A and B are shown apart, each in its own frame.
Chain A
């Protein structure tokens, strides 16, 4: 029987289950299928720090939120339309973020007395049966039973059979949203090609989930979300860390230098190392060092030798790299340092997101130690930001810090990818001739950048190091005038980077007026959406998003002064806020959230309206 189709503009689905339930995979599969279909989308994986937290508990809930639509999508969305709950804990942890009237797809097997107890449901009453979910549209399926039934003849053990449960849910959702199974079938074939029994089982359960929707009378409605009207071109789906890695490879290609990454695994930055280590065919060398310090120090060594050198980490690792960053500043060698921020301080919240390392990036070293700092603002934008970090490092002979965070690093979105011929060339010249009677390693050019003379170059033998350098000769100097000169010179060099970066533009809104919302990093989507919503309600808020945090674009001050009020939403206690107040002496207002989760657009919109009234 043909069932009616309802057309929707956008849908937010949260996949939630035990961390062993395969919800990340289910979410990613649905995302890729939606992307290939042409929807715009944004995702937010949310998993516990423990690899396998105790089964069935609230601590063990792993989630994946997907927002997709036929309209432009900028955030993973605030409240969900659909909640997939594989067990009681998943329901309990996520119910507050489900819209009223939203759909709950619950796996009844995950609501047995043991699961209810582990999820702290008092007196063991199942929420599926006690009427407490009345204001939602509850769909209860015994996924475990269905999966086992589908695989009764498979010859597989119960454990292996139960592992395919997530495919049933995926198949059912594909039915619900009128999606083809093809993309996931191809994925499973690639993944389990060498294990035909497992492949067969997964395909069977995926189809069983789809057919369950089709044949069961209970479900009357299917939904359609048309492709989005995005700029014409070719698209792929991409995650932030992946985009960062590809950006580095692209920069290495465009600069004609081999890429070296010296690093130490840390959440949520490790995926950059994983991605880079795959690309040996580009001559990429990845060095998994013994610790964070060795990570950056091997990179400094590689840079001395003429590689495009990178080190990747997150806040705690960046803290360990501090002294070596200072060395790179003194050596004036190109180096890209990537900080994929997470909740802090100390070990903090490894798998949660925060923007609390901005001041560390700007000031977190001993001595006067300036370095350019730039921040990515969406998963795909990580590509451009990583590429730009390399350009600045190489053109100005300086370490550069790139800030990303857990939210965009693990989030995904469609990316209108460039072709290689559209990428800028990065101009690198190694010095091969003496620039004086003797070679002067710290004689500067018009950018205040020093020559890069590689070991092995005849007659340019020289020594560099962490002790204060004499202007031009690079010899050790304890002279007080020289020290002051060199401190100012290193700062002037970093400030000069502003000559090579674009002026700050508005992302949206009026050029002058009541309120400018200024953001940086991963708050982009939430602020963009909030401003749009506020303008729809008649409140004229403009939005500027800063990529270049050190140095700032030259016109930033001018732009800020065009508004009566400046609002700075940040996932910290007000770090950019402090810097803007300090530099431009404006009474900017902070909106701060330090909960390990991104802003919702609604939270920002409310503040905008409050300030515009």
Chain B
């Protein structure tokens, strides 16, 4: 839905708090995400009753119970499909899907990719903690290879999904990544997700301090964040490092890490991020190395790609209206009668 991101709040963040006790484990990254969402939602210029939060199953999927809006805590993996049906029939609502890495990448993987290609105007918040929390600690489809968990005592042999690349492959129209530990960046990404007309996909790295503590530490902790996280912004060069001394250059289609202070280099020669460039976004989405790997690329955060493409529900409505315009509104008696009739006296 079209949103004005700067209007005066129609209600307060406090009014979004429900009478339900929040039951995530103390220290869970979900608390931060809930807080940022409750901060951003009132700023969007949309009345509270127009918001709907729909979730599947998993720790993150408790989210709707904590938002004083309309909500549905549905079944495993299907929030995307339920939201699609709601959006297809209700263009006046602001619909948010809250899902986890198991919910959307595993059991709900199919609905996820089809939501991306259809481009219904909804917002997907993927809380990625790279572990199954609610079922108490099995590896997830985003867990790294070799991961030792309850179900993989000798290490996981599964190759992990790269959710950003998956969304790119499924022709998503808004693809971004943020993290629970950076409230400012997260709020910015939430606002931009809301402003995008079409399916916006925001992957949020979220720490599960019970079953997978520190999974994203290198990206979120002060000491390593500047070295390991690459914050991308439209129109700005790709720079990182303690003093932004490192940059990414493209050698043909091959990205290369260079020191901007080295001879012959300057910040101006670096790859300038362009969220409308699908090819470059695809390359960027592949910055997915294990941070322990020698010569690895930093992990990008921010909007990878954004595109303006007609939304499914708009085209669906247009088709209905076009048919009505050419054929007239349906006449039930005509339908009941059909083509050929005969009378018996």
Residues on A lying within 8 angstroms of B by beta carbon are: 32, 35-38, 183, 227, 230-238, 246, 249-250, 253, 258, 260, 262, 279-285, 287, 289-291, 293-294, 297-307, 309, 323-324, 326-327, 331, 417-420, 423, 455-467, 475-476
Contact = CB atoms under 8 A, between A and B. Distances in A.
Interface in B304-345: 316, 319-320, 323-324, 327-330, 332-333, 335-345
Contacts of B70: 455-456, 461-463
Given A231-B344, A233-B343, A287-B84, A238 B338 contact: yes
A287 B344 contact: no
B49 A458 contact: yes
Chain A interface helix/strand/loop/mixed? mixed
Interface stretch (B89-97, B123-131, B140-148, B247-255): B89-97
Given A304-B82, A455-B90, A234 B343 contact: yes
A182 to B, nearest CB: 11
Given A281-B323, A297-B74, A417-B337, A262 B85 contact: yes
Contacts of A282: 329-330, 332, 335
B59 to A, nearest CB: 14
Given A304-B82, A475-B20, A456 B74 contact: no
Contacts of A250: 332, 335-336
B301 interface: no
Interface size class for chain B? 35 or more
B89 A281 contact: no
B68 interface: yes
A562 to B, nearest CB: 35
Contact of A455 (B49, B114, B316, B343): B49
A253 B332 contact: yes
B344 A302 contact: no
Contact of B337 (A38, A234, A459): A234
B89 A419 contact: no
A287 B85 contact: yes
B176 interface: no
Nearest to A298: B85
Contacts of A37: 342
Contacts of A300: 74, 82, 85
Contact of B340 (A237, A285, A289): A237
A327 B77 CA distance: 13
B280 interface: no
A309 B65 contact: no
B88 A281 contact: no
B75 interface: yes
Nearest to A237: B340
Given A234-B337, A300-B85, 9 more contacts: A32-B340, A253-B330, A294-B78, A297-B82, A302-B89, A323-B75, A461-B49, A464-B71, A465-B64
B50 interface: yes
22 contacts: A232-B344, A234-B337, A237-B340, A246-B335, A280-B324, A283-B320, A287-B85, A289-B114, A290-B114, A294-B81, A294-B110, A300-B82, A301-B84, A302-B86, A323-B76, A420-B333, A455-B52, A461-B68, A463-B18, A463-B71, A464-B71, A466-B74
A305 B336 contact: no
Contact of A301 (B65, B81, B327, B342): B81
A465 B70 CA distance: 11
Contacts of A418: 336
Contacts of A281: 323-324, 327-330
Contacts of B48: 461
A331 to B, nearest CB: 7
A469 to B, nearest CB: 11
A304 B340 contact: no
Nearest to B117: A290
A589 to B, nearest CB: 39
A82 B7 CA distance: 78
B338 A285 contact: no
B73 A301 contact: no
Q: Which of B89, B92, B328, B341 has the most CB of A within 10 A?
A: B89
B342 A235 contact: yes
Contacts of B93: 305, 455-456
Contacts of B336: 246, 250, 417-420
Contacts of A301: 54, 81-89
Contact of A417 (B52, B84, B92, B338): B338
A260 B87 CA distance: 12
B75 A324 contact: yes
A327 B74 contact: yes
B69 interface: yes
A36 B114 CA distance: 46
B111 interface: yes
Given A36-B342, A285-B316, A456-B93, A294 B74 contact: no
Contacts of A455: 49-50, 52, 70, 86, 90, 93
A291 B111 CA distance: 8
A472 to B, nearest CB: 14
Nearest to A438: B19
Contacts of B332: 249-250, 253, 282, 420, 423
B72 interface: yes
Contacts of A302: 85-86, 88-89
Nearest to A333: B72
Interface string B253-292: 0000000000000000000000000000000000000000
A489 to B, nearest CB: 20
B169 interface: no
B81 A293 contact: yes
B88 A298 contact: yes
B110 A290 contact: yes
Q: Which of A238, A300, A455 has the most CB of B within 10 A?
A: A455
B320 A280 contact: yes
Contacts of B86: 301-302, 304-305, 455
B47 interface: yes
A291 B68 CA distance: 32
A465 B52 contact: no
Contact of A183 (B50, B82, B90, B340): B340
A463 B90 contact: no
A38 B70 CA distance: 55
Contacts of B52: 455
B219 to A, nearest CB: 32
Contacts of A258: 89
A333 to B, nearest CB: 10
A465 B73 contact: yes
A283 B318 CA distance: 11
Contacts of A231: 344
Contact of A285 (B88, B333, B337): B88
Interface string B7-23: 00000000000101000
Q: Which of A236, A326, A331 has the most CB of B within 10 A?
A: A236
A302 B88 CA distance: 7
A269 to B, nearest CB: 18
